[in-house]
Structure 1
Amino acid sequence: MTRTYTERDYQRAEHMLQHHRAALITGMVDRPVWLEKSESFWCATSSPAGVEYLVVDPVAGTRRSAFDHPRLAAALSRATGRTIDRATLRLSTFEFEDGDVIVELGGRRWRCSLEDYVCTPVESSAVGPGESRSPNGRWTVFVRDHNLWLRDETGAEVPLTRDGTADNGYAVDPMFGRRRPFMGVDGAVASPVVQWSPDGSKLLTHRMDERDVEVLHLVESTPASARRPMTHTCRYPMPDEPGQPKAYFVVVDPERRTVTPSTGDPVHTPYVSPVTWGRVWWSSDGETVYYLDPERFGRCLRLIAVDAVTGRSRVIIEEHGKTRVEPTQIMADPAMVHLCGNGELLWYSQRDGWGHLYRYTPSGALINQVTRGTWAVRGILHVDEEDGVVYFSASGLVSSDPYLRQLCRINLDGTGFARLTDDVDDHVARISPLGSYLVDTASRADKPPLVVVRDLVGRVVVEVARADVSALVREGWAPPERFTVKAADGVTDIYGTLWRPYGFDPNLRYPVVDHIYPGPQSHRAPQNFENNYTGEAEAFAALGFAVVAIDGRGTPGRSKEFHDASYGRLGDGGGLDDHVVGIIELGRRYPWLDTDRVGITGSSGGGFAAVRAVLAHPDFFQAGISVAGCHDIRQYLSFWGETYHGPWDPESYRVAANSELAGNLRGKLLLVHGELDDNVPHYQTLGLVDALIEANRDFEMLLVPGVGHHMLHREGYVIRRRWDFFVRNLMNALPPSGYRLADIPFC
């Protein structure tokens, strides 16, 4: 008899999605916010009663409630005329001042006495949407009519530039980075792309020249504001095209109203500005600004210094490589460049085959290699210049798992290496502004987070919070399992995560879902409890699937050689051969894994990989779901192929396109795309569709009107359709009729 899933089955899966799952875990801690001129900080943590706001004092070794939560909720209810109870108290931020607490609630600020809990409104000094205020509070800048404008303390507004145009404007990202025209979907306004000097007397920005970049047109079929379909046009650079966005840097002096251009060459900027990306730093004295300048194909990286008065530009460090030269392996991580007060520099490089720190003079001469070994620096936490010590995180120091990050220290001359943590947890730390304490979150994929404060020798001085997953367990959750298998070369160890299906019975056999993202700029199976993929994988497990996530060769976080396995081979889908042999090996270990029923799903680059899997391995993958798939790098943003695949080569780029293998399709395939996707335009999927039709292959397709890359406001429907597809084609069962998932809240 064919099984029919119930609404309760889907409800349980929905509860595992990230935004619902979070409500089932207490003791999770938000980013710490340090109190001014203090080692103390406040943070928010989840509790059974609602969000709890804590004040932690590492010096005293104490943690306490920041205030009486029920009394503050009642006081804010009286002041605002709204019903705010203890469970719904959500503060954007707060600060202490003269025995009172100043809180922000619903976009308005309130001063609340902690003696009598009376709240009065405070005139807001917050920066408005689309504005940036100087650190000294004197100046506010914003973009108007493609030019940079200034507002002073009196409220007077003046233009700082006058020659900006739509395709050659100031203080903006390239059009792709601006997500124009779709930021308006939720009323978001882009802030000006500027970097203030420490004292607020100057700022760095640029003019973004896109006049030679080819245009891309997207058609909105069902606009809410019009009867007719609406065309949206933006500049969109593709590989091998001569026209690419270029950033011309300028230094602005608000006091003198001067705009001084850098004498350096423009920076190739096909993705987002170095300012937006955190690739710009001011010297502590505000006399010099530094930025990273990657050449077009990513095989040269320069550190440029600009004199803030004259605009004179000079190259400080220049490094070349046969493949990418990166300031960090994982694209979203901060670039590992540190400017010391004496002008010396710390520079990250993989020149010895691993990711390590190197020390340079102010003029760019190498002093010494600071860290070394068969492991990788993952982030700089703090540099104590007085004692000559750098604190950092590193992976590869735990023999059981090369992805686990540990906290370490070393002298700047390369001596005195020591680990501050020596366990088998993954550590993410933030250091206090005064540089004396580390707020450390330790977890694993199978171990909920523990947040503590450590001193600089690694001793725990106070425990902040310990996550409790009891409610999650009651929903059927069980910790995932970390596994190691050999790659397709039979030699290299690769690592992944396995989720057993809810209600697991070892006497049954379960279909397998490979939940893929191929990189090469990020992990798919990071070894920490919280990551962006966990909820979706656990939802499939709640539906009764065994789920795997694998980091094959070519993904980041290990050696340069391991990462470079994907260079020039993006068509391999992030080591799909490794996925196949890995799942087969797991099937040998666990007879309850049915490796005759294997599906694969992913979004964006994962959408490409899911299609590649069912086309390149049609005898292994029986079903695939691709969401917003980047199926042809010839038609994607130039930075992606040119950085991660290599300089333009027509044949190499052609064979990496999924359409080339369309005739191989034998399994089931669902293609999903948003019509307003300005990251991976839906033409990518339609190009694949054309090839599948030409090859006379059957498939399913869902084109979602009015949404972009992340299916905003239509996620619930798309997720339900994905569940239905695997339930039908891997479980050979029927989904519940008419089930509706709530859309994911936009944050």
Structure 2
Amino acid sequence: MSESFPRLHARTRRFSLGVPRGFTVAPDGSRVVFLRTKSGSDPVTCLWEFDVAAGTERLIVDPRTLDADDRDLPPEERARRERSREQAGGIVGYGTDTAVTTAAFALAGGLYVADLRSGGVRRLPTPGPVIDPRLSPTGGHVGYVTGGAFHVQDLEQGTDHALARPEGPEVTYGLAEFVAAEEMDRMRGFWWSPAGDAVLVERADESPVHKWFIADPANPSRPAVEQRYPAAGTPNAEVELFVLGLDGSRVRVPFTDEYLVTAAWDAHDLVIVTMSRDQRSMSVFSVDPVTGATTLLRRDTDDAWVEIVTGVPGHLSDGTLVWVADSDGGRRLVIGDAPATPPTLQVRQVLDVEGDTVLFRASGGDPAEIAVWAYRDGRITLVSPSEAGVYSGHLAGGTLVITGHTLDSEGPVTQVLHHHKPRGHITSHIERHGLDLRVSLIRTGERELSTAVILPAGHVPGSARLPVLMDPYGGPHAQRVLSASGSYLTSQWFADQGFAVVVADGRGTPGRGPAFERAILHDLAGPVLQDQVDALHGAAAQYPDDLDLSRVGIRGWSFGGFLSALAVMRRPDVFHAAVAGAPVTDWSLYDTCYTERYLGHPEEGHYDASSLFGDAGKLDRPLLLIHGLADDNVVAAHTLRLSSALLAAGRQHSVLPLSGVTHMTPQEVVAENLLLLQVEFLKKALGVG
């Protein structure tokens, strides 16, 4: 008997195992270092190398040979993996020197250094479990964090020094604070100088942040886990920057904004990016590492918020600043002070800056497609294949690594080119999902919303009207409708259980320009819900003989969970049942950086309209609430408080608490059974035989 999709989906960590990732291209373009597990069901990530000239792969480090156990991870590393949504184990991150001859990584709290030429690996002694080791550009030293202290170890001398020690239990040096990792896509807290003789280090003091306690009711003998959580309107961690010299010098880098967005230190300049608490102003500063003095290079402002784009700032070979900013209705690559891309091309991310070439991702007329482009000498060139898909890439020494995922591909495909000539593929070991994808991408409603319609395998169009399942995320910073098969595997499985599944990206989602994203300002409920309704009706207009609008369910997780619960409460005329996983029910319980970006400070009065509590008395449709009790992102209080409000209003509903489960639900048995329980709930609620 073949393995069921829910089990396979769980065992492969949502088909993420076996896929090459974490690419680093050597500066001469001769080699590509990357991460990958040995199979599509193997959770242990290994370090590999691809020889560009020969087109061959070589295993450099297999963690199984190092006698390390991921169960020994320090709490800070577990938290970092939760923030980055890391689903695998083993070597999940690494850093190299500039020449890409040496790599450093942490494994089960130990510090390891690998010689990428010989494959030799050695463990270095440290005073405690290691977080985020990074080699200096010259390869002579490795910086890391242990016990909140920032250490540097001299690889030649074997000496280890703490350049900064925490002054209290709530202080750390060298780690990104919670909101930086969770909401600003900044996972690091220190940056080496190009010469390797100094480090820019973040000092984070979390003592002003309010204490929350994450308990495990299923194990009352265990004490609750204490956590500092910066809920909307409450204090953030106090963040400072210091340039720490290997000679023991310490120079403070002052800034007045609330948030440190990122930093970059290359041969041209040390640059930091900061953002105001209301996120309507973002500033780029040049820093003198000797004195700490800052010089403003540019400041971007917006009446709603300034969007954070990863991969910038950078510099061309002559020191010209590379940036991304909104202008003339588009998100544009900016070289110096001049936009280098048209406003119709929405820049998503800068991937690499090599010499005078800037590699970046962008969407044109269709937000479901993300291509890779290159800028050079005032011109932009498409470098990813012309076939519709979702692409990413890396560039160094004339070697281009392009990863692409299309609707027709089983999973991501990674090709290596050297000076435009194919040099082979880096193998993917992704498991075959075994589904017959029946996905159609359409535009719906007056706003031409990106929408996917997924029908059951074997369904003959027009032969029967099927109950409908809306399957959104629906919130900012994330898309569900993409020209990539991997986006629809779970949706297709639900469709094969007898549903017509509709996935739609409404206002607030990326890829269609700043105005479309900012349409949710001060209202996270109205526009996103209306767009789901419009997409449903638009899909039904194009599939009138296949979609039964008298039986419509909706399911989602996180923001999608919020949207699902919102749908059955506010629009029971449209939605007849909902599954809400880890929903944000009260935005005052969510973090500062995300929530205040869209709703402002709670004192401004925009929160009640986006809360679910005021709608509790309206519920008269089946609602299943699911929440992991160990969730430290959307804490279980969201679901428990909504359940209390529903009970007080006399409204029937179901709650499924998951003991020991976080926001990611990584446990195989839990992940498998969650799918099965959801489909059974929806079938019963919608009268599906």
Instruction: Tell me the TM-score normalised to structure 1 length.
Output: 0.76
Residue deviations 1:303-362, cap 9 Å, x none? 12221111112322111111111232xxxxx243222343320121112210112232xx
Aligned residue number for residue 394 of structure 1 = 362
Q: Counterparts in 2 of 1:210-225, with a 5 A limit? A: 210-223=206-219
Going from structure 1 to structure 2, the CA distance change for 1:668 and 1:204 (only over 3 Å counts) comes to: same
Select 1:726's aligned residue among 674, 679, 682.
682
Aligned residue number for residue 642 of structure 2 = 688
What code does the residue aligned with 1:521 have? H
Going from structure 1 to structure 2, the CA distance change for 1:39 and 1:530 (only over 3 Å counts) comes to: farther
For 1:229 and 1:55, the matched residues in 2 are separated by: 44
For 1:148 and 1:15, the matched residues in 2 are separated by: 41
Going from structure 1 to structure 2, the CA distance change for 1:354 and 1:482 (only over 3 Å counts) comes to: same
Decide whether the 8 Å contact of 1:290 with 1:303 is kept in 2: yes
What code does the residue aligned with 1:282 have? W
Aligned residue number for residue 464 of structure 1 = 425
Aligned residue number for residue 324 of structure 1 = 305
What code does the residue aligned with 1:323 have? A
The Cα shift of 1:626 comes to: 0.9
The Cα shift of 1:538 comes to: 2.9
Structure 1 position 262 matched with structure 2 position 250: no
For 1:261 and 1:440, the matched residues in 2 are separated by: 40
Structure 1 position 315 matched with structure 2 position 315: no
Structure 1 position 306 matched with structure 2 position 307: no
Aligned residue number for residue 250 of structure 1 = 242
For 2:134 and 2:49, the matched residues in 1 are separated by: 28
Select 2:485's aligned residue among 525, 529, 534.
529
Aligned residue number for residue 3 of structure 1 = none
Q: Counterparts in 2 of 1:284-683, with a 5 A limit? A: 284=267, 288-328=269-309, 334-360=310-336, 366=337, 368-383=338-353, 385=355, 388-396=356-364, 399=365, 401-412=366-377, 414=378, 416-421=379-384, 423-434=386-397, 436-448=398-410, 449-454=412-417, 459=420, 461-464=422-425, 472=433, 475-486=434-445, 490=446, 492-506=447-461, 507-531=463-487, 534-572=488-526, 575-590=528-543, 591-683=545-637
Residue deviations 1:691-739, cap 9 Å, x none? 2122211000112223322234343343332232123223544xxxxxx
Secondary structure at 1:355 match in 2: strand
Decide whether the 8 Å contact of 2:203 with 2:240 is kept in 1: yes
Structure 1 position 15 matched with structure 2 position 8: yes
Residue deviations 1:122-170, cap 9 Å, x none? 5446997325243244444444554434444444444433552122332
Going from structure 1 to structure 2, the CA distance change for 1:460 and 1:544 (only over 3 Å counts) comes to: farther
Give structure 1 stretches of 5+ with no counterpart. Answer: 1-7, 81-89, 96-100, 180-189, 329-333, 361-365, 734-747
What code does the residue aligned with 2:580 have? S
For 2:330 and 2:233, the matched residues in 1 are separated by: 31
Secondary structure at 1:652 match in 2: coil
Going from structure 1 to structure 2, the CA distance change for 1:570 and 1:466 (only over 3 Å counts) comes to: same
Going from structure 1 to structure 2, the CA distance change for 1:681 and 1:163 (only over 3 Å counts) comes to: closer
Decide whether the 8 Å contact of 1:520 with 1:644 is kept in 2: no
The Cα shift of 1:601 comes to: 1.0
Secondary structure at 1:624 match in 2: strand
Secondary structure at 1:350 match in 2: strand
For 1:229 and 1:53, the matched residues in 2 are separated by: 37
Aligned residue number for residue 72 of structure 2 = none
Select 2:55's aligned residue among 36, 55, 63.
63
What code does the residue aligned with 1:464 have? H
Q: What is the percent sequence identity of the aligned residues?
A: 22
Secondary structure at 1:723 match in 2: helix
For 2:33 and 2:208, the matched residues in 1 are separated by: 49
Decide whether the 8 Å contact of 2:104 with 2:142 is kept in 1: no
Going from structure 1 to structure 2, the CA distance change for 1:438 and 1:588 (only over 3 Å counts) comes to: same
For 1:124 and 1:197, the matched residues in 2 are separated by: 25
Going from structure 1 to structure 2, the CA distance change for 1:56 and 1:479 (only over 3 Å counts) comes to: farther
The Cα shift of 1:625 comes to: 0.8
Q: Counterparts in 2 of 1:703-714, with a 5 A limit? A: 703-713=657-667, 714=670
For 2:367 and 2:290, the matched residues in 1 are separated by: 46
Give structure 2 stretches of 5+ with no counterpart. Answer: 68-89, 97-101
Number of residues paired by the alignment? 642
For 2:4 and 2:661, the matched residues in 1 are separated by: 25
For 1:238 and 1:470, the matched residues in 2 are separated by: 40
Going from structure 1 to structure 2, the CA distance change for 1:731 and 1:257 (only over 3 Å counts) comes to: farther
The Cα shift of 1:422 comes to: 6.7
Going from structure 1 to structure 2, the CA distance change for 1:234 and 1:443 (only over 3 Å counts) comes to: closer
Secondary structure at 1:536 match in 2: helix
The Cα shift of 1:561 comes to: 1.0
For 1:418 and 1:36, the matched residues in 2 are separated by: 22
The Cα shift of 1:445 comes to: 3.0
Residue deviations 1:587-606, cap 9 Å, x none? 23321222211111111111
Q: CA RMSD in A?
A: 4.1
The Cα shift of 1:45 comes to: 9.4
Q: Which moved more, 1:128-137 or 1:557-566?
A: 128-137
What code does the residue aligned with 1:247 have? V
The Cα shift of 1:687 comes to: 2.0
The Cα shift of 1:214 comes to: 2.1
The Cα shift of 1:110 comes to: 13
The Cα shift of 1:106 comes to: 9.4
For 1:9 and 1:17, the matched residues in 2 are separated by: 15
For 1:104 and 1:169, the matched residues in 2 are separated by: 20
Going from structure 1 to structure 2, the CA distance change for 1:467 and 1:563 (only over 3 Å counts) comes to: same
Residue deviations 1:107-130, cap 9 Å, x none? 899999x9xxxx998544699732
Aligned residue number for residue 83 of structure 1 = none
For 1:91 and 1:518, the matched residues in 2 are separated by: 33
Going from structure 1 to structure 2, the CA distance change for 1:18 and 1:111 (only over 3 Å counts) comes to: closer
Secondary structure at 1:612 match in 2: helix
Going from structure 1 to structure 2, the CA distance change for 1:318 and 1:508 (only over 3 Å counts) comes to: same
What code does the residue aligned with 1:198 have? P
Residue deviations 1:353-396, cap 9 Å, x none? 10112232xxxxx3x222223221223344454xx443433211
For 2:125 and 2:150, the matched residues in 1 are separated by: 20
Q: Counterparts in 2 of 1:170-209, with a 5 A limit? A: 170-174=173-177, 193-209=189-205
For 2:114 and 2:147, the matched residues in 1 are separated by: 37
Select 2:672's aligned residue among 716, 727, 744.
716
Residue deviations 1:486-543, cap 9 Å, x none? 2xxx2x2111222212342442332221111122112122222334xx3432332232
Query: Which has the higher Rg, Structure 1 or Structure 2?
Result: 1
For 1:319 and 1:93, the matched residues in 2 are separated by: 32
For 2:647 and 2:248, the matched residues in 1 are separated by: 60
Going from structure 1 to structure 2, the CA distance change for 1:593 and 1:52 (only over 3 Å counts) comes to: farther
Select 1:160's aligned residue among 159, 163, 174.
163
The Cα shift of 1:678 comes to: 1.5
What code does the residue aligned with 1:695 have? A
Aligned residue number for residue 240 of structure 1 = 233
What code does the residue aligned with 1:501 have? P
Decide whether the 8 Å contact of 1:9 with 1:543 is kept in 2: no
The Cα shift of 1:283 comes to: 2.5
Residue deviations 1:396-448, cap 9 Å, x none? 1xx5x243223333445x4x3443457342252323321x1322233323444
What code does the residue aligned with 1:654 have? D
